[in-house]
Amino acid sequence: MCGIVGAVAQRNITPILVEGLKRLEYRGYDSCGIALHIEGKLERSRSTSRVAELEKQVAEAHLEGFTGIAHTRWATHGAPASHNAHPHFSRGRIALVHNGIIENHDELRDELRAAGYEFESQTDTEVIAHLVDHLYTGDLFETVQLATRRLTGAFAIAVFCRDEPHRVVGARRGSPLIVGLGDGENFLASDALALAGTTDQIIYLEEGDVVDLQMQRIWIVDANGRQVAREVKTVHAHTGAVELGPYRHYMQKEIFEQPRAIADTLEGVESITPDIFGDDAYKVFKKIDSVLILACGTSYYAGLTAKYWLEAVAGVRTDVEIASEYRYRDSVPNPNALVVTISQSGETADTLAALRHAQSQDMQHTLTICNAATSAMVRECALAYITRAGVEVGVASTKAFTTQLAALFLLTLTLAQVKGRLPEEREVAFLKEMRHLPAAITAVLALEPQIIAWAEAFARKENALFLGRGIHYPIALEGALKLKEISYIHAEAYPAGELKHGPLALVTEEMPVVTVAPADSMIEKLKSNMQEVRARGGELYVFADGDSRITSSEGVHVIRMPEHYGLLSPILHVVPLQLLAYHTALARGTDVDKPRNLAKSVTVE
């Protein structure tokens, strides 16, 4: 999603800004731009192509300067077109980039139009640029403080002014913004990753902060305009570009990295102890009487899976909420609940807002399962478990999901232990099964050739149904999400028992029905549901275990999973669904790693 980089230095900063944008590219964007202060004027270049194209444009135009800002945009207000790309200018004096959404932009636009401002774009961002120009007092830092008080909504902005050549001002509310400290130079970015290789001295700005960035100093004020000192952290953000190696796409690479990612996530866990979630975890786990999981998308499905584990193994009542819905409804807060956020990026705006909503309702026992150790989610939760999936570049979440599941199973075992429901021999047996997961996933990955054969048939379809029962229902949901987001095939998932209550009407010989069918306690029920599909001509694609006793026949295609894995089976059964989505998308020729309209990190509401 949108990304910001800014710099004030005594050297040409163009390469730093371009490199920063490249590092943020994986988040997804549809246009990009850069603006510099050059010989008393504002100069800019914008592109609706990739950052590499912008880099060429900038080189051809010889855009070099000491002060500037750059941006990758994921369209919200206004189409992905050059005139909507950031930076936005106001009257040749103000240049500004923005992440987030300004909710009162219509009313401000009317006011600014009445004051004589003309608008070139449909964006809410241009409104902020004109507002800063309109309120300009001769001091950009002071002006930005005045302007941000007029804004409703979420934003991180970076702005500079033609008349103050060695200054960039940043401000944040609701969207992340960090300061990078250098020697005689300072930087701004929406993510420390953008500055990897430039500086590792990072300040995470807090809600409402405004920062004055100059070459030799930085100055921060809080939402009330009081000067504040913020902690400087040494952040070792990942520097190397992520190599594709022998793979065609990052998604494929990331699917195949799962054995390693799970092993890394479990590394160092010799036995179950609350400390792995943080120093105070034991006290907190002892106190809580339920779990409330908040997450979005794939992370939400990880939460749904965990509900089965937490209730069955730990005996702890668990609610799972879609973060963007939870914050807007009147729920009944429980101060004794453990609030668990799940997020790959740790920056998802909806999940962060849901967490803050829970905190504002006096729910202070918070824990995150997150893949980004320096993210806002980790900073804002009292306890954390960092999954070690590594950088996930593909928009479709794969290794992030299975490592989340591994971490959630550890949480389940830990709560079970604290609640006195985990006898030692069970703990030992579960840990042994967890340690075997990398090998078990490797065996599942070997099914790829059989899945490729199925994908060819899927590529010709426009609809698909996914069925699962019990703990594999969330896995069916995740399989359908994977297929729709990268192959653009309309896919829906149902708990198989629901079929006859409506969706069965959709089943014809044109409808492929993917069924997750491990030999668990639900298998006989599931077989009856499969009969219902066959009786209507629907074609079944079944992922079964050796002992499910489901065999291939006309209209029934079966791939056998190598092992039956009991409670941990969802972690294995999602892998062939990821491969099916990947190879179907490949056969349809879609942009697998950057599917249309989607972003990796969803930092707007």
Among 31, 72, 265, 299, binds ligand M6R (CB under 6 A): 299
* 395 near ligand M6R (CB under 6 A): yes
| Orientation angle between helical segments 448-458 and 569-588, nearest 10 degrees | 50
Residue 99 or 143: the one with the smaller Cβ distance to ligand M6R is 99
Q: How many residues belong to the chain?
A: 605
- The rounded distance, in Å, linking the Cα atoms of 23 and 2 is 12
Q: How far apart are CB 380 and ligand M6R at their closest, in Å?
A: 13
Taking the least distance from each CB to ligand M6R, the nearer of 66 and 401 is: 401
Q: Which stretch binds ligand M6R (CB under 6 A): 40-48, 146-154, 226-234, 291-299?
A: 291-299
Residues 490-509 that bind ligand M6R (CB under 6 A): none
Please, are residues 232 and 181 in contact by the beta-carbon 8 Å criterion? yes
Among all chains, which residue has been given the structure tokens 């609809």?
A: 463
| Closest CB 302 distance from ligand M6R, rounded Å | 8
Q: Compute the radius of gyration of the chain from its Cα atoms.
A: 26
Give the SS3 label for residue 35: strand
Q: CA 584, CA 396: separation in Å to the nearest integer?
A: 14
CA-CA distance, 166 to 570, in Å (whole number)?
55
Binding to ligand M6R (CB under 6 A): which residues in 153-172?
none
Alpha-helix residue ranges (DSSP H) falling in 396-518: 399-418, 424-445, 448-458, 473-487
- Confirm whether 2 is a catalytic residue: yes
Do the Cβ atoms of 494 and 516 come closer than 8 Å?
A: no
375 binds ligand M6R (CB under 6 A): no
Nearest approach in angstroms of CB 562 to ligand M6R is: 25
Q: Is 297 one of the binding residues for ligand M6R (CB under 6 A)?
A: yes
Cβ nearer to ligand M6R, comparing 67 with 345: 345
Shortest CB 103 distance to ligand M6R, Å: 21
Cross-strand partners of 185: none
Site for ligand M6R in 464-493 (CB under 6 A): 481, 485
Residue-wise burial string across 132-164, b where 16 or more C-beta atoms lie within 10 A, e elsewhere: bbbebeeebbbbbbbbbebbebbbbbbbbbeeb
Report in angstroms how near the CB of residue 458 gets to ligand M6R at its nearest. 18
What's the CA gap between 222 and 176, in Å, rounded?
15
Stretch that binds ligand M6R, among 26-34, 60-68, 170-178, 294-302 (CB under 6 A): 294-302
Report the DSSP pairing between strands 290-295 and 337-343. Answer: parallel
Distance of CA 171 to the CA centre of its chain: 23
The closest residue (CB) to ligand M6R is 297
Q: Looking at 69, 358, 396, 491, which residue binds ligand M6R (CB under 6 A)? A: 396
Stretch that binds ligand M6R, among 87-95, 235-243, 393-401, 534-542 (CB under 6 A): 393-401
Q: Are 299 and 354 in contact (CB under 8 A)?
A: no
Tell me which residue of 527, 523, 176 sits closest to 353, measured CA to CA.
Answer: 176
Print the binding letters for residues 337-356 with ligand M6R: x by CB under 6 A, - otherwise: ------xxx--x--x-----
SS3 174: strand
- Applying CB under 6 A, what is the total number of residues that bind ligand M6R? 16
Instruction: Give min distance, CB of 540 to ligand M6R, in A.
Output: 25
Among the residue ranges 228-236, 292-300, 524-532, 573-581, the one whose residues contact ligand M6R (CB under 6 A): 292-300
Which residues are annotated as catalytic? 2, 600
Name the site residues for ligand M6R (rule: CB under 6 A): 296-299, 343-345, 348, 351, 395-397, 481, 485, 601-602
